[in-house]
Copies of this chain bind each other. A is one copy, B any other.
Amino acid sequence: MRISLNYCCMTEFDLIQKFFATQSVVRDDVVLGIGDDAAILQPPAGCQLVVTTDTLVEGVHFFADTDPVALGHKALAVNLSDLAAMGAEPAWFLLNLTLPRPEESWLAGFSEGLFALAREFNIQLVGGNTARGPLTIAIEAHGFVPDGEAIRRAGAQPGDSICVTGTLGDAALALAHRSGRRLLPLPDYDVLRPRLERPTPRVREGRLLRRFASSAIDLSDGLLADLGHVLDANGVGALLMRDRVPLSDTYRRHLDSAGWDLALAGGDDYELLFTVSARAGREFERWQSHFGCPVTCIGEIVSGPGLTVLDSAGNPYRPAQSGHDHFSGG
């Protein structure tokens, strides 16, 4: 493990060191951080470790000209979103950065975005690796949950409500504009763009979910696809009310032309989907005001297999692209 560029000169090595060796998050449970063959970490007693990793590849997950500050933010945010979906408290992360050449301005921006988010959630960079190659960013994030309290995809039962945080489809609509598939007025794109480039991981909300959620998943592949994963994990089906899916004001202004499908299947939302049993309903209500974002119930888990979406008239609605093969269409 090394924060350095393999097979490169010391000037480049120094450049990388400059941006990643010092940081403002310093945790007591990091016994040894960057600079040895591996980090030494002290997991707290009574806790389980929650570990996840996600990769962003240039040209696949982001455009080549993406603002490096936003990229640093997003690379960590998508991992924090996975921790959030488990109800975990972020602690440590590792960074694998493959880049064609170390450019000072790019590294300054990337590390700025990365560490600003790291500070917000008190997660410390404890190691990593840099290599020369096509721009690829892989982050591995570690968090804790009290023993046995992690929320899983498994756990949802027929009768449970299906809820989501925030609003859906904003990132997908911004991406549609960015890639030329849809044209938005520039002020609207400016509002939606941060939802694509700088998603807010719902870490605090995820910790609250431990009190009442029967299952949870983060929405990265799109509502229908990710709900499909929950259904798979539980051998159940779901009934979704399309018009209850929460939309931002900006998205709603374009609903007539953009339709529902970007909100249902667009992906890149990084909101949380969770289920709540009737029994846990009171606890849910009690804690709902503690959420830093809207929470909306959009449907119900049912025993039958398949995922049915109903439109405002109560008729089955089938999106053009469901993003998941378990979609039944009613």
Contact = CB atoms under 8 A, between A and B. Distances in A.
A27 B78 CA distance: 28
A53 B152 contact: no
Contact of A127 (B51, B127, B131, B136): B51
B40 A96 contact: no
A234 interface: no
A145 B19 CA distance: 30
B31 A48 contact: yes
Contacts of A313: none
Interface stretch (A57-65, A67-75, A165-173): A57-65
A55 interface: yes
Given A1-B52, A32-B152, A138 B133 contact: no
A176 B143 CA distance: 43
A40 B52 CA distance: 9
A96 B138 contact: yes
For the residues of A in contact with B, the DSSP-based class is strand
A53 B132 contact: no
Size class of the contact patch on chain A: 35 or more
Contacts of A10: 325
A85 B37 contact: yes
B40 A50 contact: yes
Interface stretch (A86-94, A242-250, A283-291, A304-312): A86-94
A104 interface: no
B131 A55 contact: yes
A182 B25 CA distance: 48
Interface in A116-136: 126-129, 131-134, 136
Contacts of A1: 52-54, 82
A291 to B, nearest CB: 19
Contact of A61 (B131, B143, B145): B131
A26 interface: no
Given A132-B60, A152-B36, A153-B37, A92 B51 contact: yes
4 closest A-B pairs (Cβ-Cβ)? A57-B133, A38-B52, A1-B52, A37-B85
